[in-house]
Amino acid sequence: MSTPFVRPERPARPVGWARLRKPQAWGVHGRIAAALAVVVALLTGVVTAATVTLLETRDVQKNVVEDFYEGLRSSQNFFIAMLDSETAIRGYALTGDRAALEPLNESGQPWDNPVSGHLAAVLPGTGAIGPMREAEAAAKVWYTDFAAPTIERIDAGETLTPPDFAEGRALFDAFRAEYNEAIGILRPERQAEADHLGEVTNLGFAFGVLSAIICLVAGLVLWSLMRRWVSNPATRLAGEARIVANGELDHVVVGQGPPEFVQLGDDVELMRQRLVSEIDQADEARREMNRSRAALEEQTLELQRSNRELEQFAYVASHDLQEPLRKVASFCQMLQRRYGGQLDERADQYIHFAVDGAKRMQQLINDLLEFSRVGRISTPSADVNLADCLKNAMYALEAAREESGAEIEADELPVVHGEAPLLTQLLQNLIGNAIKFRAAAPPRIRLTVRQSGEFWEFACSDNGIGIEPEYAERVFLIFQRLHAKEVYGGTGIGLAMCKKIVEYHGGRIWVEESAAAGTPVRPATEDADAPAADGPGTTIRWTLPVTTSALQLPDAPAADEVAEGEKVAK
């Protein structure tokens, strides 16, 4: 196993080295959190001050725009009403016309409706309340001591003298002086409040500008810090990783900046070391695979040589061995025909054994050759209709069917992809075995098919002598016989041939367990006088792949729904 490559002049740094070297260093989260905390604290202070200033501006503005305005308006209305009343009294005194008193009547009687109470309600803290009350008292005196007596004297026909007018003017001037004193206090107070409103308004504007400046500066500072803490370290680390990605696997990756990027660099470095180690392992595996491929190619050549030798052996078996075997069989048969009955009984028996052995030897060689040709000497694969294969198999088994009285039924068989001669041989062997290994009753053979996923599942069932469970796998071995050759003929290669054909087409074959569990019964040839009876029967199942163009049959048809199919019997 190779070790990771490490550059000698720049050794790989242990993971977590930066954190051990600078345990006091703040991470990116801590730094960003601290910077944001400072910005938030500044903004909070400025926003709080701006909020307080705005609230004060609102209160001052209300005081100037509403309260002082209302106080001045009511005070001026009070003074105007007193002026109208004084003018009406002088006019009535000069003209004696009652129409001159209309301004007095329309004034609302200000001497009886003091304004100081309203002024105290809207401006409770003003210093003009006292002088305004003095003005109201002076107005009351003017009306009581001058206005009302003057109206009565004029109504009585008296004429006012200049001293009377001088007395009234003096009383009104006393009112005017008190009112002017109150107004002289109220107006400066309003102006001071207006000046304060301007100050707090400017202060609020200043706080707004300061907030904008803080946001701008904070944004610039945070942008710079993010470049320094995040963008630049990430760019440098990406450049380090890109160098490794471009093929320089010996380049040691080092993270810089905050601990997170240092740790990330250590992790990337560890990943690089593992990558180098895995590449070394892959190279070693590739070299091992090349050695294995070379060995496999050598074995393939050996297998090809062995196959050529086997083919040569097959040729020898089919030609060179059968030729002398045919001569032996031929001369033995000539001996049997020419000297039969001329020699003693033992000699005739020996000649019979020789002829029979030569014939069986020829049959064994032919069957072995047929078995070896499956998958080695083949015709082109194509879509094959199994119904046609069944007809050809029935034609080849016609003599055995007539001799045994076999009844054969089959479902509608599908189209599969394969070699027609081999599939015909498969059906012929299975049906031929069902006819051969029959019980006393005439054979009844049934071929069924159903689709199971991507495979067709076929079954060949009979009423024959059955197969013991322990032989369910053994029957598919070549040259395996379960009965003596005197009872059932053959070479024991039929089911082995079926297994090889099915597996060559991508399927599998087996004996159904329920069918293999029975006990074999007396074969049909042992006692012809016994009453005909069915045996336990055998069911051979096999699968073949479904073609894309095949007819889709139900996966599991019920027994009473299976069609009667085509009854193939002569």
DSSP secondary structure letters along 127-173? TTHHHHHHHHHHHHHHIIIIIHHHHHHHHTT----HHHHHHHHHHHH
d(CA 92, CA 84): 12
DSSP secondary structure of 286-311: HHHHHHHHHHHHHHHHHHHHHHHHHH
Task: Give the length of the chain.
Answer: 570
Q: What percent of the chain has pLDDT over 90?
A: 6
491: amino acid identity, one letter: T
Lowest mean pLDDT among 22-26, 304-308, 315-319: 22-26
Which pLDDT value is given to residue 523? 47
Show the beta-strand stretches assigned E in 282-406. 382-385
> What are the residues whose beta carbons fall under 8 Å from the beta carbon of 300, sequence distance 6 or more?
none
Mean pLDDT of 264-281: 84
What would the pLDDT profile of 100-118 be if each residue is shown by its tens digit?
888 877 777 888 888 888 8
d(CA 265, CA 252): 10
Are 139 and 110 within 8 A, CB to CB? yes
Alpha helices in 63-147 (DSSP H): 69-95, 102-106, 116-122, 129-142
Are 250 and 4 within 8 A, CB to CB? no
381: amino acid identity, one letter: S
d(CA 152, CA 158): 9
End-to-end Cα separation, the chain, in angstroms? 74
Are 114 and 136 within 8 A, CB to CB? yes
> What are the residues whose beta carbons fall under 8 Å from the beta carbon of 106, sequence distance 6 or more?
84
Which pLDDT value is given to residue 553? 44
Which pLDDT value is given to residue 449? 92
Question: Is the pLDDT reported for residue 529 higher than 60?
Answer: no
Which pLDDT value is given to residue 367? 60
What would the pLDDT profile of 347-356 be if each residue is shown by its tens digit?
777 777 777 6
d(CA 187, CA 92): 34
Which pLDDT value is given to residue 493? 75
To 10 degrees, what angle do helices 259-315 and 28-62 make? 130
Question: Is the pLDDT reported for residue 374 higher than 80?
Answer: no
Q: What is the pLDDT confidence band of residue 235, given thresholds at 50, 70 and 90?
A: confident
Secondary structure class of 385 (helix, strand, coil):
strand
Which pLDDT value is given to residue 517? 42
Residue 85 CB neighbour total at 10 angstroms: 24
Which pLDDT value is given to residue 450? 92
Secondary structure class of 517 (helix, strand, coil):
coil
Residue 216 CB neighbour total at 10 angstroms: 10
Mean pLDDT of 520-529: 46
Residue 175 CB neighbour total at 10 angstroms: 24
Q: What angle do CA 379, 382, 384 make, to 5 degrees?
A: 105
Helix, strand, coil distribution of the chain in percent, nearest 5? 65, 5, 30
Q: What percent of the chain has pLDDT over 70?
A: 77
Q: What is the pLDDT confidence band of residue 315, given thresholds at 50, 70 and 90?
A: low
Q: What is the pLDDT confidence band of residue 190, given thresholds at 50, 70 and 90?
A: confident
Between 343 and 187, the higher pLDDT residue: 187
Which pLDDT value is given to residue 266? 84
Mean of all residue pLDDT scores within the chain: 77
Question: Is the pLDDT reported for residue 95 higher than 60?
Answer: yes
Question: Is the pLDDT reported for residue 141 higher than 80?
Answer: yes
> What are the residues whose beta carbons fall under 8 Å from the beta carbon of 513, sequence distance 6 or more?
469, 472
Which DSSP symbol is given to 446? E
- How buried is 440 (Cβ within 10 angstroms: 0-12 exposed, 13-18 middle, 19+ buried)? buried
Question: Is the pLDDT reported for residue 166 higher than 80?
Answer: yes
Which pLDDT value is given to residue 560? 40
Which pLDDT value is given to residue 307? 67
Question: Is the pLDDT reported for residue 456 higher than 90?
Answer: yes
Which pLDDT value is given to residue 534? 66
Between 444 and 515, the higher pLDDT residue: 444
Question: Is the pLDDT reported for residue 474 higher than 80?
Answer: no
Residue 530 CB neighbour total at 10 angstroms: 10
Would the CA dihedral through 394, 400, 401, 406 be positive or negative? negative
Lowest mean pLDDT among 1-5, 218-222, 433-437: 1-5
Q: Which is nearest to 368 in space by CA: 485, 500, 493?
A: 493
Q: Please state the φ and ψ torsions of residue 481, each to the nearest 5 degrees.
A: -120, 140
Lowest mean pLDDT among 181-190, 255-264, 548-557: 548-557
Which DSSP symbol is given to 110? G
d(CA 507, CA 321): 35
Which pLDDT value is given to residue 556? 40
Q: What is the pLDDT confidence band of residue 366, given thresholds at 50, 70 and 90?
A: low
> What are the residues whose beta carbons fall under 8 Å from the beta carbon of 478, sequence distance 6 or more?
371, 492, 493, 496
Q: What is the pLDDT confidence band of residue 455, given thresholds at 50, 70 and 90?
A: very high
Facing residues of 88 across strands? none
Question: Is the pLDDT reported for residue 203 higher than 90?
Answer: no
Facing residues of 452 across strands? 455
Lowest mean pLDDT among 177-181, 486-490, 530-534: 486-490
